[in-house]
Amino acid sequence: RKEVEQDPGPFNVPEGATVAFNCTYSNSASQSFFWYRQDCRKEPKLLMSVYSSGNEDGRFTAQLNRASQYISLLIRDSKLSDSATYLCVVSANFGNEKLTFGTGTRLTIIP
Amino acid sequence: EPEVTQTPSHQVTQMGQEVILRCVPISNHLYFYWYRQILGQKVEFLVSFYNNEISEKSEIFDDQFSVERPDGSNFTLKIRSTKLEDSAMYFCASSELGRSNEQFFGPGTRLTVL
């Protein structure tokens, strides 16, 4: 089983729509969770950390389900600039530990 | 906004040659990392570095690889004898000391081994 598993997509979504991505992780001891975005041939950029209680940052909402080892990202009112690959990322501990990346889900927002 | 910088942006080398990739982490960060991403694949952890020593390394980080913090600002990755399969994007990242583990990535160095 992959350590972090994501649907690779692509997701082609009209501008203004809501889109949701899911991710599962295999290590039940994982403690830190993140969503990064990566534009083509660029570095991963931190989008948001994911907290146990769920968290929201503008149009973005992240949820964590530890029992199911499942992380989600919801993007509301999608914009053309949201087109990117979204990377689900976990690490084993809270501290300064290696990040384990999923392969990413590719999103294209269509005008 | 402070950012991680990396040089060069693109390095082309012949198989068997040594390369050094350079990074300047964010100035108040204490943890440094190298990751790589082979074209079309996921980002993979190579090594983490704290207090002038390696904290953790992956299976990829074999004897051909080494890291160094030669001065107060630079963090380098050396590949002693490059192989074709070392061709990838190499990302440097840094993080503050603390619980959040939020890591910030540099723009990467594209290494092409011929």
Whether A47 and A55 have beta carbons less than 8 Å apart is answered as no
Identify the residue among B36, B43, B90 best suited for mutation to test binding to A, counting A beta carbons within 10 A and taking the highest: B43
Q: To which residue do tokens 């290494």 refer?
A: B111
Checking if the pLDDT of A53 tops 80, the result is yes
Identify the residue among A98, A100, A103 best suited for mutation to test binding to B, counting B beta carbons within 10 A and taking the highest: A98
The tokens describing A33, both together, are 């969770």
Checking if the pLDDT of A93 tops 80, the result is no
Amino acid at the residue B93: A
Confidence of residue B2 (pLDDT cuts 50, 70, 90): confident
d(CA A95, CA B1): 23
B101 closest CB neighbour out of A32, A42, A102:
A32
Q: To which residue do tokens 């997509």 refer?
A: A9
- Which residues of B have a CB under 8 Å from any CB of A? 30-31, 33, 35, 41-45, 48, 50, 55-56, 58, 89, 91, 95, 97-108, 110
Task: Report pLDDT digits (tens) over A23-51.
Answer: 999 999 898 999 999 999 999 999 999 98
Question: How much of chain A exceeds pLDDT 90, in percent?
Answer: 84
A23: three-class secondary structure by DSSP: strand
| Pairing relationship of beta strands B31-37 and B19-24 according to DSSP bridges | unpaired
Checking if the pLDDT of B85 tops 90, the result is yes
